[in-house]
Amino acid sequence: MSDAGAGAVVGGDDAAAGGGRGAMRRWPRSPHTLALVVLAGLICYPLVLPGATYYQTVLLLAFLLAIQAMSWNIISGFTGYVSLGHSAFLGLGAYTAGILTDRLGVNPLVFAPLGGVVAVVAAGAVGVVVLRVRGHAFVIITIALLLVMQVAATNFDSLTEGSDGITLPLPPWPRDIQNIPFYYLFLALMVVTFGFSAWIRRTKFGTGLVAIRDDEGKAAAIGVNTRRRSGSTRRSTRCSPTPPAPCSSGSRAPSTPTS
C-alpha cells in the first residue's frame, strides 16, 4: 500500500475515533443529568405508549420495590440494622386502607395517607422493643414480626378475607387509561422517597446514623443518642403512604398482600 493510501486509512481511523469520542462527550456523564434523563423518559413513557398496560404495571411495581429498597436503606444501609421485616409495615398500611375502604365504601386513595400513619405508629411501638437488641437478635425479631403478620393476615378471615385478600372496586376513571394514574402516583412516591433519603444522608442526623453503623459503641461515647436515632429512623422509613395495588382487568382488585 502506498504512503498516501496508508495515510488515508490512518486519517479515517482517527476521524472515526474522534467521532466516537465526540459521541461519548455528548452522552451525559453526570449522574444527576443521567437521572434526569431517565426520569423524563419514565414520565413520557405512558404518554407515548398509553396502551402498554402490561409494561406500565411492571414499571409501577418496580417503583414500589424501589420505594421499599430506598426506605430499607435508611435503617439497614445508613444505620447498619439489618431488618428483614420491612414488608410487614407495607402490608399493614395496605390492609388499613383496604379494610376501611371495604367497610365504608370510600375511594381507597382517601385512606392511603392513613395507612402510612398506622405504619408509622406501629413501627414506633415495635421499635421500643426491637431496638433494645442488636446483631443477630435484631434480625431474628424482625423476620419473626413479618411471619406473625403473615399468619395474622391469613387467618383473620373476618377482617382480611384470609388468603383470598380484600377485593376493592375498580377505580372511577375510564378503563382506557387503566393503570396510568397509578403509574404516576408510584413514580411520584419514588421520587419523593429518593429525595427524602438523600436529604437524611446530608443532615447531622444522617451523619449520626452512619456513625452508629460504623461503631455504635464509639458513637454513643461521643454523644450520639443511638437508641433515639435508631427509633426515629425506623419510623421515618414507614412514613410513605401505600396506595392499593392497581388492576388491569376484572371488576374488583385484590389489595396488596402482606409479603
Q: Between 101 and 211, name the one with better pLDDT.
A: 101
Q: Could you write out the three-class secondary structure of 165-226?
A: CCEEECCCCCCCCCCHHHHHHHHHHHHHHHHHHHHHHCCHHHHHHHHHHHCHHHHHHCCCCH
Q: Is residue 110 part of a domain?
A: yes
Q: Is residue 80 part of a domain?
A: yes
Domain residue limits at 38: 1-48
Q: Is residue 35 part of a domain?
A: yes
Q: Is residue 259 part of a domain?
A: no
| Exposed/middle/buried for residue 194 (C-beta within 10 Å: 0-12, 13-18, 19+) | middle
State mean pLDDT over 152-173. 85
Q: Do 187 and 243 lie in a common domain?
A: yes
Q: Do 34 and 128 lie in a common domain?
A: no
- Reported residue count of the chain is 259
Q: Is residue 160 part of a domain?
A: yes
Q: Is residue 174 part of a domain?
A: yes
Would you say 131 and 227 are in contact if contact means Cβ atoms under 8 Å apart? yes
Tell me what pLDDT residue 30 has.
Answer: 79
Q: Do 38 and 68 lie in a common domain?
A: no
For residue 246, name the pLDDT band (cuts at 50, 70, 90).
very low
List helix spans (H) across 73-85: none
Q: Do 10 and 94 lie in a common domain?
A: no
Q: Do 161 and 242 lie in a common domain?
A: yes
Q: Do 203 and 235 lie in a common domain?
A: yes
CA neighbours within 13 Å on the CB side: how many for 22? 6
Q: Between 31 and 113, name the one with better pLDDT.
A: 113
**Measured over all CA atoms, what is the biggest interatomic distance in the chain, rounded to whole angstroms?**
90
Please give the model's pTM, rounded to 2 decimal places: 0.72
Of the listed ranges 3-7, 27-31, 211-215, 255-259, the least confidently predicted one is: 255-259
Query: What percent of the chain stands above pLDDT 70?
Result: 71
Q: Do 198 and 249 lie in a common domain?
A: yes
Q: Locate 155 and state its grid cell.
A: 387467618
Tell me what pLDDT residue 257 has.
Answer: 40
Q: Do 71 and 8 lie in a common domain?
A: no
State mean pLDDT over 130-149. 87
| Residue labelled with grid coordinates 464509639 | 218
**8-state DSSP, 2:** -
Tell me what pLDDT residue 222 has.
Answer: 57
Q: Do 43 and 66 lie in a common domain?
A: no
Q: Is residue 203 part of a domain?
A: yes
Q: Is residue 27 part of a domain?
A: yes
Sign of dihedral through CA atoms 80, 83, 87, 88? negative
Q: Do 13 and 95 lie in a common domain?
A: no
Q: Do 135 and 14 lie in a common domain?
A: no
Q: Do 69 and 97 lie in a common domain?
A: yes
Q: Between 76 and 191, name the one with better pLDDT.
A: 191
Query: What is the C-alpha separation between 193 and 206, in angstroms, rounded?
Result: 15
Give how many domains the chain has, as a whole number. Answer: 2
**8-state DSSP, 83:** -
Would you say 229 and 208 are in contact if contact means Cβ atoms under 8 Å apart? yes
